[in-house]
Amino acid sequence: MSMFENPGYRWRETYLVMFHSQHRPKAKKVEQVLRRLDSRYQLSNVRSTEDGDFESLTLISPDDYAALDVCFVEGEDVAEQALELQKEIKPDDLPRSARDKLKQLPQFDARFDVLHFEQIAFEDDEEDEMLDPGSLLLVLSALAKLTKGVALDPQSGAVLED
């Protein structure tokens, strides 16, 4: 469930970072990694378990007119989804390095859902879209590296490169 409920933003898409649950990071480490990406990022709603394991956070990137809501999910459903994604994504459409990442999916039983939001400048004004995917791509790459996982766009079947 999204923790981000700011009416000045609208949801655009959801990306995934799939990984093995043994690589679940501590909330402080996630926060540290994301703050290093860009000092202008605003982090809020950082939540963790009693043991300090990461649960969720919201990141706002004012320069990109974007916000991200990152939520941890684990369990059997994640493992099943990983298998389904591996079947759906056509390896022939991917570069070799992405194919190698795709082969890893069956071993994953955890993921980050990364919900991408766009700041709304003017209601119903689609032509003046200012959303920049820069923060999204940086965060996905950083989270994939941190968890030794794979970042992907389940809607398009794209495996994101580092």
pLDDT in tens, 46-105: 999 999 999 999 999 999 999 999 999 998 999 898 888 888 887 777 777 778 888 888
3-state class (DSSP) for residue 60 = strand
pLDDT digits (tens, 9 = 90+) for 95-121: 777 788 888 888 999 999 999 999 987
Amino acid identity at 160: L
The DSSP secondary structure of 36-51, one letter per residue, reads HH-TT-EEEEEEE-TT
- Tokens representing 62? 């004012």
Tokens coding 129: 């879209």
> How far is 115 from 113, CA to CA, in rounded Å?
6
Does the structure show a pLDDT above 70 at 26? yes
Q: How far is CA 87 from the centre of its chain?
A: 21
Report the alpha-carbon distance of residue 69 to residue 48 in Å, rounded. 14
